[in-house]
A and B are shown apart, each in its own frame.
Chain A
Amino acid sequence: MAIHERSLVDPERVLRKERLVIDGIDVSGDWNLIILPRVIEDYDLSFLDEVLEQPEGKTILQCYQCSYCTASCPVHNYWDERYNPRHFIHLARLGLIDELQKRADVMWRCVSCHKCTHRCPKGVLVEEVLKAILRVMAKRGIIEEYPSKKFDKFFLESVYEYGRIEDGELLFGWIEKQGYQVVKDPILKKPIPFMGGVPEWLKQLAVKPIKSMNIGFLILNAKHMLFHPRTKNWNRFKQVLRKVMEEEGVFTH
């Protein structure tokens, strides 16, 4: 028997028997699969309240579980069946924190393509609601540090510091954070892209402009790496930004 959305059923609650006889009647074949009922006791409704407190999470109550979001989601369709936005919203509203925690390894995988938000017939900002759920989970410590969050923070630090970002610095800074060995020049302490333990594909990519004698591109990027592009009069604004982010509890410095 096929189960629609099989990933939502815990494997330990599914019983499948080769031969099944009930009251002396052989029911093997079509009726050999049983899903044990589940009794929910440990729900926590304060989770929903915390999601609603987030400015982006307000539309969560409009959801009527039609699953249009899940049907549109590229992560669900092309990567992992267990990534199911509709179900995450359902669990958050019921306050089933254990169930959310079981899915913590896929919950961060949203690529922010906004197909779900765009197509939602009820006007739920699905992508934003999911990010609000993730944030509450992180606050409660039921989801561990995940790669995209590390990257988000790394990005935010750069924006906070200079007001602008620089592609090369971001890329090689991230590579270094991943544990690869990045060689830096001794004087300015800036990374040298094509040396050290940088992944091979990236080394080749970095060498490409040199091979094609693209001097303009190299000079521009070297200039940006040396003198980080920054916004003028940023310091005063930075203080306000800091204050706001401290209130939200995201500042880590």
Chain B
Amino acid sequence: MAVALQMRKPPMGGIGKRVAYYPGCSLEGAARAYDVSTRIVAKELGLELDYLEDYNCCGAMETKNVTFWGTMLLNARNMSLAKKQGHSVIVAPCNGCSFSLQRAEYFLETDKKVFERINSLLKEGGVDPLTEIPHTYHILEWFYHEAGPEKVKERTKKPLKGLKVANYYGCLYTRPHFYARTYSHGGTEEQERPRMRETADDDEHPYYMEALLEAAGATNVEFEPMHTQCCGGPHSLSDEQVSEKFVMMILQTAKRNGADIIATECPLCHASLEMYRHRLMMKGVPDVDVPAAYFTQLLGIAFGYGAGDVKLKDNLSDPIPVLKRLGLV
């Protein structure tokens, strides 16, 4: 069996208003607030999420470290399901999930052997083989390009006035450019990388979240270079010392730059920040008491939804007092 692999150019132009939505395991468990608020924001912005039925775990970083073929297979199954539902675009709200799918995309596109082997394995497992490889985007990129700051401004009923936000992007939203296809927006034509795509964020200085939250009335504080500093990621449980130090650096930078709240866009980063924030506060480390909230939760509040609608209570770091002080909830 040999399906002809078309070496395609990177996707250019728009992403589409209706996409396959791959929530990932976290969003249906502890990060339910992110799922609920994402749906609210998408509805408000006039975008449609088509839930990817019967998906499986993307394997995250942990599976990738142990098995190459297993991880490819897990992601190829999800891609095949998206194709079956008639989508050529998958949107994932989690940095880990979007990374895993984009990584699979990279290897499937660049290595013919991988593509053929994976296809025959998919057939064996009772899943439709891939004829075309769907592209994966992070949900932030999708919101920015298909709705944009203007639409957010238009929809905002209760501007987040006076709220000072530190935008935390985490690692895998912009990195590595091989998979995420980000590029330097300030660079010249020659500096652009061969696999970059038009809609991708700036690689070293991402700004999409800042732009959306600013349109909703919030003030962004200076947060470089901690906005893409690692939170400990896949080691947040297995290597506590390193993770604790990284999170401490992130939280202290945010606090010392005057942030009221940290806006996150990945359930793993969010959980890691909240968990270690709690631990650091118990240890009595200074300047770490900044709460975290998903950027969709903040947008939801700006769109006129209440704290209960966006499940602010689910955040273990409890951002409600901060928002109450400003009269937002």
Which A residues have a C-beta under 8 Å from some C-beta of B? Answer: 54-56, 74-75, 78-79, 109, 111-115, 117-118, 123, 125, 127, 131, 134, 147-153, 155-156, 159, 163-168, 170-171, 174, 200-201, 204-205, 208-209, 212, 214, 216-217, 220-221, 224, 229, 231-234, 236-237, 239-241, 244-245, 247-248, 250
B84 contacts across to A, CB distance below 8 A? none
Chain A residues contacting B279 (CB-CB under 8 Å) are 201
Contacts of B4 in A (CB 8 A): none
Contact B176 A151 (CB under 8 A): no
Which residues of the other chain, A, contact B68 by a CB distance below 8 angstroms? 54-56, 248
Q: Determine if B242 and A217 form an interchain contact, defined as CB atoms under 8 angstroms apart.
A: no
Q: Are A229 and B28 in contact (CB under 8 A)?
A: yes
Indicate if the CB atoms of A125 and B178 lie closer than 8 Å: yes
Interface hits, B215-245 → A, CB 8 Å: 229-230, 232-235, 237-239, 242-243, 245
Chain A residue nearest to B268 in the complex (CB): A167
- Option from B29, B278, B282 in Cβ contact (under 8 Å) with A224: B29
Cross-chain contact B25 with A229 (CB below 8 angstroms):
yes
Can you list 26 A-B pairs with a CB-CB distance of less than 8 A?
A54-B68, A74-B230, A109-B242, A111-B230, A115-B175, A118-B174, A125-B176, A131-B65, A147-B238, A147-B239, A148-B235, A149-B65, A152-B63, A152-B66, A152-B234, A153-B66, A155-B60, A155-B63, A167-B26, A170-B237, A201-B282, A205-B278, A214-B314, A229-B25, A229-B29, A231-B54
Chain A residues in 8 Å Cβ range of B61 = 112
User: Smallest CB-CB separation from A224: which chain B residue?
Assistant: B29
Contact of B69 among A151, A159, A245 (CB under 8 A): A245
Which A residues touch B62, using CB under 8 A?
Answer: 151-152, 155-156
Given A114-B171, A205-B278, A78 contacting B249 (CB threshold 8 A): yes
Q: Is B30 among interface residues, defined by CB-CB distance under 8 A?
A: yes
Known: A166-B25, A220-B29, A250-B67. 5 other contacts (CB 8 A): A112-B65, A155-B60, A156-B66, A217-B313, A237-B125
Query: At the interface, is chain B mostly helix, strand, loop or mixed?
Result: helix
Provide the residues of chain B in CB contact with A165, threshold 8 Å.
25, 57
B176 A117 Cβ-Cβ under 8 A:
yes
Residues of A within 8 A of B245 (CB): 78-79
Contacts of A134 in B (CB 8 A): 65
Q: How far is the CA of A248 from the CA of B117 in the complex (A)?
A: 14
Complex Cα gap A212–B234 (Å): 29
A190 to B246, CA, bound (A): 32
**Chain A residue at minimal CB-CB distance from B126:** A236
Sorted from nearest, which 5 A-B pairs have the closest CB atoms? Answer: A113-B230, A155-B62, A151-B238, A117-B176, A118-B176
Contact B126 A200 (CB under 8 A): no
Stretch at the interface among B70-78, B129-137, B140-148, B154-162: B70-78
Q: Cβ of B230: which chain A residues have Cβ within 8 Å of it?
A: 74, 111, 113, 115
Task: Tell me how many residue pairs across A and B have CB atoms closer than 8 Å.
Answer: 186
- Let me know if A217 and B32 touch, CB within 8 A: yes
| A201-B278 in contact given A131-B65, A152-B62 (Cβ < 8 Å) | yes
- Does B175 contact A78, Cβ atoms closer than 8 Å? no
- Chain A binding surface, main DSSP class: helix
Cα separation A74 to B172 with both chains bound (whole Å): 14
Contact of A168 among B30, B64, B125, B275 (CB under 8 A): B30
Q: Do the beta carbons of B127 and A118 come within 8 Å of each other?
A: no
Give bound CA distance, A239 to B125, whole Å: 8
For B127, the closest partner residue in chain A by CB is: A237
Nearest opposing residue in chain A for B170, CB measure:
A113
User: What residues of chain B lie closer than 8 Å to A150, measured between beta carbons?
Assistant: 238
Contacts A231-B56, A245-B67, A248-B69 given; does A164 touch B25 at CB 8 Å: yes
A114-B175 contact, Cβ under 8 Å, with A164-B56, A201-B278: yes
> How far apart sit A109 and B243, CA to CA, in the bound complex (Å)?
11
Task: Give Cα distance in the complex from A171 to B240, angstroms.
Answer: 13
Report which residue of B59, B65, B316 has the largest number of chain A beta carbons within 10 angstroms of its beta carbon: B65
Q: Which of chain B's residues 36-69 have a Cβ closer than 8 Å to chain A?
A: 54-57, 59-69
Q: Which residues of B sit under 8 angstroms from A111, Cβ to Cβ?
A: 230, 232-235, 239, 242-243, 246
Is the beta-carbon distance between A250 and B66 smaller than 8 angstroms?
A: yes
B246 near A74 with CB under 8 A, answer yes
Q: Does B107 sit within 8 A of A, measured CB to CB? A: yes
A153 to B115, CA, bound (A): 26
